[in-house]
Amino acid sequence: MDIAVAGAGYVGLVTAACLAEKGHRVACADVDIEKVMLLQRGMSPIYEPGLEELVRKNRERLWFTTDYAAAYRRADVIIIAVGTPEERDGSVNLRYVWEAAKQIARTVEKDCVVAVKSTVPVGTGDELARWIAEHRKHPVHIEVVANPEFLSQGTAVNDTLYASRIVLGVESSHAEKVMREVYDPFALPYVVTDRKSAEMIKYASNVFLALKISYINDIANLCEIVGADIGAVAEGMGMDPRIGPRFLRAGIGYGGSCFPKDTKALCHLASRCGYELKTVRAAIDVNEKQKLKLIEKARTYIGDFHGREAAVLGLTFKPGTDDIREAPALANIAVLLEEGANVKVWDPVGMDNVKRIFAENLTYCATIEEAIANADLCFIFTEWPEIRQFDLCQYAALMKTPLVFDGRNCYDLESARKAGILYESIGRKQVGAAESAVLVETDER
């Protein structure tokens, strides 16, 4: 099929590359000239494992352009995969979705299906269908379908090629038939429903995962108080098939472009309808407080951060991506800088993005060893393999005082004890707490 994709961001680019991999001819349109030129040279503008290789492999069937008219004019299916940023009140800004709709209405010259893959409020597909029907330039039949995505950054290519399901929100058998032609080569199960239900499936799925994360973090905080171990608790819970083990890793909260935005958007939608989603509101509150959990722990040992040498390991919101949107590291770095700490940071792929926010206020290190050298304390915010595999004895050998605050539970407690470091994690016992009192007392003298 001839398919056009509006938007070359995470969702649009991965979708376009995977559709080309399955044999479709795909045109991906974006307004960013530099991004398009980079893609035309076979280079990915984002860090996503396997994506650049897929783009290069399918160059004969995949092309990139800023000329949306050329991309949309004769397409069988046009996929809208543009950004839907968050407004201050938690609502969704749909300006890019509507801009794509206007471009489609002006340029399409044959019957086609418009599939909305962007995450949009329930009812948006119905509004788009009415508007496009009223404003199309040519006498063609254009149907709108809700086709939400469920990919995760860091595993986006695999999540698309081997998805758990394809959700189609359609209002006619014709639209369903066309969309099945798009996805049949993937050989995946379908959920076929109406547009509004498909849009709700996306929100309900993402928000449920956010709820699960906030719940296990809440339980982890209680574990610390009562002396239980969150690792054992999560393992015991996860073995129950009704619960499952995924998204039960305690830590310092979720980040990224989806969970923070989607939880707020669903609460905003419910509020507009006169309904309060109390569980979702609680998940948001828990997550916001959880982000600064390590700062709170560190204060009990060193008081304030003025003049302290602080190492920060991991800047992205999760491993496998260079995305720092809503990353817990950012909020913590801001506190450290505000209170006068000297901050050294390390991340394998995220430092260039962080430089755009903090510029030269941070010291950017090429290695973990460089970041922790002579540090008074160390914070871990992302569970990169390089961090998980790092020799714990190096903390004791290189740091001025081996105070390690781990927001992702990267290390075994006994290994931390043997390494001779003070080690604080989430929902687990302290390691080396008695020795820390000596360190702080000496520092104060």
Compute the average pLDDT of residues 117-129.
97
pLDDT for 155-169, tens place per residue? Answer: 999 999 999 999 999
* Strand 77-80 relative to strand 403-406, pairing: unpaired
Compute the average pLDDT of residues 79-86.
96
- Which run of H or E residues covers position 116? strand 112-116
CA distance 38 to 59: 13
Cβ-contact 269, 262 below 8 angstroms: no
Instruction: Decide if pLDDT at 443 tops 70.
Output: no
CA distance 329 to 320: 16
Compute the average pLDDT of residues 70-86.
97
3-state DSSP assignment of residue 274? coil
Please give the model's pTM, rounded to 2 decimal places. 0.93
Residue with tokens 């393999």, as numbered in its chain: 385
Instruction: Decide if pLDDT at 315 tops 70.
Output: yes
Task: Please list the active-site residues.
Answer: 258
Cβ-contact 345, 314 below 8 angstroms: no
Cβ-contact 157, 17 below 8 angstroms: yes
Instruction: Return the closest-CA partner of residue 46 out of 83, 9, 85, 84.
Output: 9
Cβ-contact 374, 399 below 8 angstroms: yes
Q: What's the pLDDT band for 444 if we cut at 50, 70, 90?
A: very low
Predicted confidence at residue 437, as pLDDT, reads: 45
Cβ-contact 195, 126 below 8 angstroms: yes
Compute the average pLDDT of residues 221-241.
98
